[in-house]
Chain A
């Protein structure tokens, strides 16, 4: 049994295929969806998405959003979705280092506290990209 997976971002439809299963980064931890899953809706945090197509496993870095799970269909709405093959691992690593340094640097300063979430978000996005790219 297959699950119809649709990933939509503001820049267009990123993925639309029937897959075996998909693992998504929910706000309360990652969860997997197989065919016949309970119908529910949840918020997603920035992280890694793993798609099992039956022949291979695809990894992608997704940003915040939410997912609608039906019995045999999953709709994922996220701000961005980058598949592993689209990510340059070396550059992603550099970006992650930079985001980390920025996060550490801003911690404690007044401005840093005010924008802490933004830096945190940038950092987790960079980490997600690295980990998706490493699975290539």
Chain B
């Protein structure tokens, strides 16, 4: 028969765990709200930028930019994987890593070599043992635009110098608090055809100064930066959402556990009382 004291101690320890998981759930919920606000705040910028990009692409059919041009020979592909820095968020990071492995396999035929860059400690830990890691960023606590600029500069300068011939970005997209889906986006060479289609046929009555190409020189790197920024934001919101869900079910599990332990405890207590009674009664009978 289990010892009463042992059961009591286990109930206590499960209760402590429950306090931690439910606190983590609430913290994640608060952070998720902030992360969602950041995504919403970025929307007007995205809308404006893509509209302008599409507009210029339309007007200037021969518009050229080095980041829009595919390289003739495809030698090196850089895969950028975005994950969180911390665990305890269910399968969130595993999904992104799995999607990255899939992307690596799919592109193995087209490129001679595939290298990885990691954003977030989880991706960095996973790939440092398995692949060539070019660079990893693991010290980005809250997402800032300057982080995206840093990553974008790393990639665009490598693309311009011909060290890499393509870059894809893999991250978890925040669909809702319950769902995050891994996404694989082509980053370099950048494609603006989708934006051009969205811009519609109406040509805005604009004078462009100094000319469309100068504007492209600003816009295209900005579009790359923004694509990365967006991935970082989605990843951040997704991480908190995944952690919230994971911690919610962990809290529920501790409740079940406490219930069954309490049942066990009461049974043991009753058994002990019955035993004592039997002993007293049989002791009295013996007299």
Contacts and interface: CB of A to CB of B under 8 A. Distances in A.
B42 A12 contact: yes
B130 interface: no
A8 B52 CA distance: 14
A38 interface: yes
* Interface size grouping (class) on chain A: 20 to 34
A79 interface: yes
A39 B209 CA distance: 11
Contact of B153 (A26, A66, A118): A118
A104 interface: no
Given A10-B42, A12-B41, A79 B208 contact: no
A41 B153 contact: no
A85 interface: no
A10 B233 CA distance: 11
Give 8 closest A-B pairs by Cβ, nearest first: A12-B41, A40-B207, A42-B209, A43-B218, A8-B45, A41-B206, A10-B145, A10-B45
Interface of B: 38, 41-42, 44-46, 48-49, 52, 144-146, 148-149, 153, 157, 161, 205-210, 214-215, 217-219, 222, 225-226, 229
22 contacts: A8-B45, A10-B46, A10-B148, A10-B229, A11-B38, A11-B41, A11-B144, A26-B209, A27-B214, A27-B218, A39-B205, A41-B209, A43-B210, A64-B218, A66-B215, A66-B219, A75-B48, A77-B45, A77-B48, A77-B49, A80-B146, A114-B157
